[in-house]
Structure 1
């Protein structure tokens, strides 16, 4: 489904798979990441955190222009942060997305498993 959506025009399709991680498709890359297990207390806010993360990450990379130049490493970082930030959100009660100070450790320092395809 994500490949079909991507073929219809968007530069990036990102799919959450809950505790199974996430999947992303661009014109040149497909990537899956596992979800870190920080324990689930409350899933309220998980979707907002998951989808807000790529917006923030892409903005930091240069906005919409960054979509057309995402290499595998940058895509892995964006998708990793989606999974990591969402894991932080569900490990707390209520819709309480993580603060920047909680996500300072980059996924490159402690990446979840990633696969191409």
Structure 2
């Protein structure tokens, strides 16, 4: 969640631009300083985690694109955006991982374990 200072800056100098499918809200400065561009920022709906920003909104935040993205820009071959799941129940765990039972499949014939003499 945004801290009190960010909320105050948003209240006094921020202008709401839009919201993404995860509920994150995007803002930019009402007025840019002379010779510079408007600052852009996001207030996350849940925890402050950068991977929760979809790629098209990340491009807007970093001035890669000028217009705020609207829905329907995904191609048919693109998967929906998912935040980084590291450290959560949804994280990938390869076969043999301790949290997946710790049992690996047997080694194939091309592998021979080293044995000290």
- Specify if TM > 0.5: no
Q: Which has the higher contact order (CA 8 A, sep 6+)?
A: 1
The structure having more radius of gyration, on CA atoms, is 2
* Shorter-normalised TM range: under 0.3
TM-score (ref. length: structure 2) = 0.25
Q: Which has the higher helix share?
A: 1
